[in-house]
Structure 1
């Protein structure tokens, strides 16, 4: 079972703190949330992203809006390369999230939010020059909807979803502790 990051957080008690469709789908794959909950989370995440982008657009002078945060791949990349970057980076992020938030694990010490924040930072530093490093379909969806700009938008859904689902499967079948398993190893 995935534990919420911080029960004092505004939304963690509802969603466990994930605001990313790739996270919701990955948690569905591992069995930590049900399909209906994952679907409702994804809808809420996308509506929230669109609302946030609409507010940002309303607050930003027209001459400063530009593309208003649209994510797009580097001009020297092929779309498939952008897809691979988004999938790999999202996979890495989700493996960290699963590892530090698995309440069955007793070997993880320290701060889950710090570990996740550092993973996000590392992924963004690695990927921003290639794809803008979205790793979150909702984050890319919000500005695309409000600005009605959709260049290579499929990359920002397909890449993170594939990366998240693969991370969920890898964690579930290779790393996840099961009931009755020991969390210590005799080497």
Structure 2
């Protein structure tokens, strides 16, 4: 059974960690910029809800695939739910996970502030539950969608026995993000990503239903990482040490 690795506070000063944080910030910034920007463009240019949803889904699918590939130095998480999924699988320490979370939230906020400025003050659309949806339904939607995302990440990128799909992981992950937005966008908003929801909420100062987009994705991501790592992966090497290093 995989144990969570705590890491050390000195990890933050290590060159490889600093480089990873810079890359994670850049890729998350560009992901949110394109993702939120596509939603703003859809709101501005079309009154067709279905067309708008399709545009947002395609934009997210493309940018996720590219930014995961471009962010190979940091792992291209782009998402606190991905980070917690990899934490529960023993692939990243608690210390680095916290640093990644801070990084992702700052990048999302910066991207949304820039979008607000570049669009002449247009509102950054926030994730909220559709009319008629209750909180439990929203949380379950986000759990299932994020579980799907992390299960795909593990199966196509993390699993050492991915076989013929080796190298296709970022593209396939982008596909599942796009598909999930088409499936859940009209109901929960299909965030799957607390950072993606946080930036627009902060810039617009609209926290309606916001907690749903933390609880659902973090449960779904953590559960998928734990299940896949412990039940489907056979490894010949040891995971990160579970003991905390001396401070």
What TM-score, normalized by structure 2, do the two folds share? 0.65
Kept in 1, the 8 Å contact 2:155–2:162? The answer is: no
Partners of 1:82 and 1:112 lie apart in 2 by 28
* Structure 1 spans left out of the alignment, 5+ residues: 181-187
- Residue 165 of structure 2 aligns with which residue? 109
Partners of 2:145 and 2:206 lie apart in 1 by 24
CA 87–9 in structure 1, closer or farther in 2 if over 3 Å, else same? closer
Kept in 2, the 8 Å contact 1:91–1:164? The answer is: yes
CA 108–161 in structure 1, closer or farther in 2 if over 3 Å, else same? farther
- Residue 227 of structure 2 aligns with which residue? 170
Provide Cα deviations, 1:122-164, integer angstroms capped at 9, x if missing partner.
Answer: 1111110111111100000001111111001000000000000
CA 164–106 in structure 1, closer or farther in 2 if over 3 Å, else same? closer
Partners of 1:78 and 1:151 lie apart in 2 by 13
Partners of 2:144 and 2:213 lie apart in 1 by 12
CA 74–106 in structure 1, closer or farther in 2 if over 3 Å, else same? closer
Give how far 1:12 is off.
2.0
Q: Indicate whether 1:90 and 2:150 are aligned.
A: no
- Residue 183 of structure 1 aligns with which residue? none
Partners of 1:24 and 1:167 lie apart in 2 by 12
Counterparts of 1:146-185 in structure 2, within 5 Å, are 146-179=203-236
Partners of 2:145 and 2:71 lie apart in 1 by 25
Q: 2:181 aligns with which of 119, 124, 129?
A: 124
Give how far 1:107 is off.
2.5
User: Is the partner of 2:186 in helix, strand or coil?
Assistant: helix
Following superposition, which runs of at least 4 residues in structure 1 exceed 4 angstroms of deviation?
Answer: none
* Structure 2 spans left out of the alignment, 5+ residues: 1-64, 238-247
Across the two proteins, how many residue pairs are aligned to each other? 172
User: Is the partner of 1:172 in helix, strand or coil?
Assistant: helix
What TM-score, normalized by structure 1, do the two folds share? 0.86
Partners of 2:214 and 2:164 lie apart in 1 by 31
Kept in 1, the 8 Å contact 2:69–2:170? The answer is: no
Provide Cα deviations, 1:19-67, integer angstroms capped at 9, x if missing partner.
Answer: 00000000000001111111111100000000001001111223xx24x
Q: Indicate whether 1:69 and 2:118 are aligned.
A: no
Partners of 1:150 and 1:103 lie apart in 2 by 37
Q: Indicate whether 1:78 and 2:138 are aligned.
A: no
Q: Indicate whether 1:24 and 2:80 are aligned.
A: no
Aligned-residue RMSD, C-alpha: 2.0
